[in-house]
Structure 1
Amino acid sequence: MKAAVLYKYNEKLKIVDNVKIDEPKAGEVKLKVVTTGMCHSDVNVFEGKTPVPTPVVAGHEIAGIVEEIGEGVTRVKPGDRVVSAFIHPCGKCRNCVSGHENLCEVFSQVRLKGTMMDGTTRLRIDGQPVRAFLGGGFAEYSIVGENALTVVPPDMDLEKIAVLGCAGLTGYGAVDLAKIEPGETVAVIGVGGVGLSVIQLLKASGAGKIIALGTKKWKLERAIELGATDTINTEETDPINAIKEISNGGADVVIEAGGNEKTIQMALDSVRIGGRVILVGLPPANALIPIKEASIVRNGITIIGNYGGRPRVDMPRLLDMVKLGRYDPTKLVTGKYTLDEINEAVKLLQEGEAIRSLIVQK
């Protein structure tokens, strides 16, 4: 099969057409990929900031059709149209059985290794193993665990919902974890795919003022279109003072979706006394975040890390929200590219000129 393979960090992906893919093992599903969204987490892999061993095939916002199932698979069958979450729960560990499958202990041990749950790979080139990052959707076929998959209604376009696999599910998990009360003021730092998903879901949840922060004017305009009540361009004004002025002292909740040291510090400095900070953006693996511990303690600030929603519970809810018109994933898509054009999509995302690009199979 054909796949976009990263051989060395900070180099262009190579389109390889002789990648061999094994049959799915127990609990696994082989997908014929229809489309895969490109996320900044993929770019972090390409740049070595998320150091998955190479050679590796990335791509984790996958929508496709079930081609083959492994032993014991019961949640899907061949021919089903499905969307894959970036989280692949084992379904058996303590966190999975206690309702926290987004924090699956088994998956956490292998996700940065680029392997399946058993520690092995399903891809090979000339007999040598190739890693797959969270599904490896930048290819014609992919193998994922069945618990990552949700069947898509027959009247729903797969290209329309691919970005639910990460942007949608991460946004859902953040808003759910924040426990937003009606009328609360929420600041959202970062207006990429996750931030814009958060804004839509905040609007649906009954939040009051929704303040969007970013650096690109056109993305901030998109945020207003999707439900933000106020915007702050962090390159043109002091974001801390601006948030405090709009919110009369500080936001009740700050959801940080930028994923870097500067934006995380911004979140901690702009929340009100007794407020909550939800950290969603994924910084580079070696990032260190300075925290003013005394002010966090004195002000009673709650800091919560969020790693997405629960695939088997929350993805069906997201699909319902799409059907009801309360969440529109197409508003995140800024371009479509073939597998052969993937390096152009990577470049646009690195430059901040894309929100989500779809890599479509032709």
Structure 2
Amino acid sequence: MRRIVLALVLICAAWLPSAAFGHALDPGYLDLTPMGQDRWRVTWRVPDVGGRPMPIAARLPSTCSHDTPPPPHFDGRGWTTGWVADCPDGLAGGEIRIEGLDQTNTETLVRFELEPGWTQVHRLTASEAAFTVPAAAGVMEIFGSYVGLGVTHILEGVDHLLFVFALLLLVPDRRRLIWTVTAFTLAHSITLAAATTGLLKIPSPPVEAVIALSIVFLAYELTLPPERRDPLTMRFPWLVSFGFGLIHGLGFAGALREIGLPEGDIPLALFSFNVGVELGQLLFIAAVLATGAAVKLLYPRIKLHTAVLTRVASYGIGSIAAFWVIERMAAF
């Protein structure tokens, strides 16, 4: 019976990271930067599918015109091209559409400036492949866009999800788990705000390597019996999650800097993005706990928090994280 449960847990553990990888490909990215005189510099990036660009295309408002763009070049993860568009009537009130997006499982982030320095971001999905450019982004539009970006980022961030999964295994008590996850949330909220507003500047490669190291640390602790684990980790898990949460917040900030923040609404965008991150994190935790509850319902005599199951999971998590450490340090 234990072997059956072990197989079920391993299948679920394997499915969750792969689902995060497969939730969507890297999103498409359309950037419109004003050059003056009703001209915009357009940068268009699409995901890679089997060594070729995903068959989606950006369509600007009908009043815009441009020359045939150069062929896209591959940057290691996606295909990028660019051109200059002439829009005599401006962008406001016009429709931006991503053709073919409704046939995919990915999304496209549209970043545009109606005036230099006034950034707006809109998220297009398979169910909403076009939108009308507003003269100014409303509160609800900014909130909805950045919440969606936050949810997408955390669900596609396998390293962050593995860290949370390791916390779930390390802290089986629900009450202590709530405090531990809350501390992680508070910590990455602090550094997310500090880094995206420019108060804290740390290069991305070391941050990504330390994030992977934080997962290795938790995985190592899980390989040990409870009585041999670090006393600080066992007595104050919230303190450990807070410390590593500061680092993870810098990772979230790197993604948010690439997207950009709307001038004049930075606090709202930061808050919304963080809400989205937390919603995605809670969805992941709920999925893990629901899986555990389903196994307990099917096999009420089996305890999931056994030494064997925990050790198997810890070796799997640690192996993946160790690979990331080497890979990210090599990228220095």
TM-score range, shorter chain: under 0.3
Normalised to the residue count of structure 2, the TM-score between the two structures is 0.25
Question: Would you tell me which structure has more helix in proportion to its own residues?
Answer: 2
Normalised to the residue count of structure 1, the TM-score between the two structures is 0.24
Question: Would you tell me which structure has more strand in proportion to its own residues?
Answer: 1
Larger of the two Rg values belongs to structure: 2
